[in-house]
Amino acid sequence: MVQTVASVLVTVGRVTPGARMLVLNPVVVRLGYLLVTAVGLAWGALLSVGRIEESGGVIVARGCPSWAFGRGGTTVGAVYITRFNVSHDVLEHEAVHRAQWQKYGLALLPLYLAAGPDARGNRFEVEAGLTKGGYR
């Protein structure tokens, strides 16, 4: 269902140039990035049992319960939510995801979902570095 909705949104963006221009307008992208970062920070602050700190441009919320994020951790805007997965390589990988959020704003969510669940075929994971992200 989520994959279908994401595919429809991506298709609408391809078919309707005006929609694409609106969604990728720098003001809309910036506002979306700030909004999703605020949501990520609130989520991380609420669930983190560790200190929240910045590392390499990523705000890291450690000690979160495993149900609060996907796989080893999830970047939401500028906030990386994880339990203990904070190696140097992983933080470099997550910094690329932060930059993706900065580039696409809220449009990243349907674009990422439409790219597929297999990391090796997901252009956003490939760009972030599969090995650094812990993908084999």
More confident residue, 20 or 47: 47
In a domain, 50, yes or no: yes
Q: How many CB atoms lie within 10 A of CB 3?
A: 12
> Using one digit for the tens of pLDDT, what is the confidence trace for 43-83?
999 999 988 999 989 999 999 999 999 999 999 999 999 99
Q: How confident is the model at residue 136 (pLDDT cuts 50, 70, 90)?
A: confident
- Torsional sign, CA 102, 105, 111, 113: positive
As a whole number, mean pLDDT of residues 1-12 equals 56
In a domain, 6, yes or no: yes
In a domain, 135, yes or no: no
Question: What are the φ and ψ backbone dihedral angles of 86, each rounded to 5 degrees?
Answer: -130, 35
Q: How confident is the model at residue 2 (pLDDT cuts 50, 70, 90)?
A: low
Supply the range of the domain harboring residue 90: 2-128
Q: Helix (H, G, I), strand (E, B), or coil: what is residue 74?
A: strand
In a domain, 99, yes or no: yes
In a domain, 136, yes or no: no
Over 80: is that where the pLDDT of 123 sits?
yes
Q: How confident is the model at residue 22 (pLDDT cuts 50, 70, 90)?
A: confident
What pTM was estimated for this model as a whole? 0.86
In a domain, 134, yes or no: no
In a domain, 108, yes or no: yes
Domains in the chain: how many in total? 1
